[in-house]
Chain A
Amino acid sequence: MLKLALSIIGRDVRLSMRHGSATTMVMGFFVMVITMFPFAIGPEQNILQRVSVGVIWVAALLSCLLSLDRMFQSDYEDGSLDQFVLSPVPLELVVVAKCIAHWLTTSLPLIVIAPLLGIMMNLPEQGFSALIYTMLIGTPALSFIGGIGASLTVTLRRGGVLLSLLILPLYIPVLIFGVLAVKAAIGGYPVMEHVMLLSGFTLFSAAIAPWAAAAAIRSGLE
């Protein structure tokens, strides 16, 4: 089982690297969105500092959405999805592996460059480590919930917008607890309860996404 999952993850990561543009585009978008804010609200340091955490988290959510619609659609278009359904590999495992691959190719690069953007947004220094670990804990939920949305819209030709409408409201808990945890760390308050709620949400999404997405793909292919 583990070997199968690893080879699906390896295939998707390799595809994304061969394709080249996907990961760089998502990172570029992330940087661009955050760069817009100092232009829009002015360079006053205390205002930037107040909005910094929220802006970085919202930009991460939006960047994550960008690459989501291709998660199953490219496999649907070239017929690989049919073969996954027919293969002895459980479709639920395929979904988990593809969500992990999506996280590795989308969210992980964002987490790597987030501290740099934190500097640009004048994020207080107590916030940096909290920003990184809350993103590490919270972003897998974005890929898992996104996987459900991607599987629901897999057979639609222009499913991207619908996907955003379906998925963004479900991202709100990640946003709330992610931002609260970093703000608590900055203010010197206890962080643990926010982090625990965030982890709980990630685990919950990891538990339901495989079944929900696999069911959606099966009914979508009919």
Chain B
Amino acid sequence: MDFLVSDISTDILSGQGLTCIRGDKPIFSDLAFELAPGQALILNGTNGSGKSSLMKIIAGLLPAEHGTMTYGGEAILGDRDWISHNICYLAHKNGMKPELTVAENLAFWATMEHHDGDIAIEAAKIGIDHCLDLPVCYLSSGQARRAALTRVLCHPGKFWLLDEPTVGLDTAGVELLAGLMNDHLKSGGRILAATHIELGIDPDKSIQLNMSDFSFTASYDPGEDLLC
């Protein structure tokens, strides 16, 4: 079966014709992307251009108005089973309970996501291991972000969806994260990140996607779409 695993052309995550409408407001239309193993897709674009919406669509939290997403030729848009085992999503919110310690939070999510490695080792990689026994409410926003990134490191999924992962991080933190993202890409993982700053991912491995290219033109008529 080795030849199948090494055959990366069947292993591409791609989206075609993705359209997003929130409320009555069209966000983007006809968006397409391809992501091979070991590649990163960097989403750029102004505020409100739909970076977070695209991530939520990929994560199945938001339905796409139109379009498909395939992985290895199979449609995966909204496929909960595939998404839950492959996608690790880090939103703006950290998903950490302020009353619990960092270690308790991470251990809880590790149980939920079937991770059985050592949390302290992963925490050390992003430099938060000295805070493991502190409640999250005592952490600064940068430390809380590092704790949330530790959850990403613990997650068994190979697809990282990171929505502005560097928010709150100091320069050293951004550098650590860049190293970790490059390691993840080297091990065949994939990253989809929305950002406003340079993340420090190896340029050979990253594709830039400007969300403004897919924004709706003034000629768009929502009435047509509602009919189909």
Contact = CB atoms under 8 A, between A and B. Distances in A.
Interface of A: 3-4, 7-8, 11, 14-15, 18-19, 74, 77-80, 82-89, 221-222
Contacts of B91: 79, 82
B109 A83 contact: yes
A89 to B, nearest CB: 5
Given A4-B112, A222-B62, A14 B95 contact: no
A87 B113 contact: yes
Interface string B86-98: 0101011111111
B93 A89 contact: no
B114 interface: yes
What is the interface of chain B mostly: helix, strand, loop, or mixed?
loop
A78 B94 CA distance: 7
B111 A3 contact: yes
A207 to B, nearest CB: 22
Interface in B75-127: 81, 83-85, 87, 89, 91-100, 104, 108-109, 111-114
A20 to B, nearest CB: 9
A4 B111 contact: yes
Given A78-B93, A86-B60, A11 B100 contact: yes
A15 B97 contact: yes
B63 interface: yes
Given A15-B99, A83-B95, A222-B61, A88 B89 contact: no
A86 B111 contact: no
25 contacts: A7-B108, A7-B111, A11-B100, A11-B104, A11-B108, A14-B104, A18-B99, A18-B100, A18-B135, A78-B94, A78-B95, A78-B97, A79-B92, A82-B61, A82-B91, A82-B95, A83-B109, A84-B112, A86-B59, A86-B60, A86-B61, A86-B89, A87-B112, A89-B112, A222-B61
Interface of B: 59-63, 81, 83-85, 87, 89, 91-100, 104, 108-109, 111-114, 135
Nearest to B97: A15
Contacts of A86: 59-61, 83-84, 87, 89
Contacts of B95: 78-80, 82-83
Nearest to A84: B112
A19 B112 CA distance: 23
Given A19-B99, A80-B97, A7 B89 contact: no
Q: Which of B81, B89, B97, B109 has the most CB of A within 10 A?
A: B97
Contacts of A18: 99-100, 135
Nearest to B113: A87
Contact of A15 (B59, B87, B100, B113): B100
A78 B108 CA distance: 15
Given A11-B100, A15-B99, A82-B93, A88 B111 contact: no
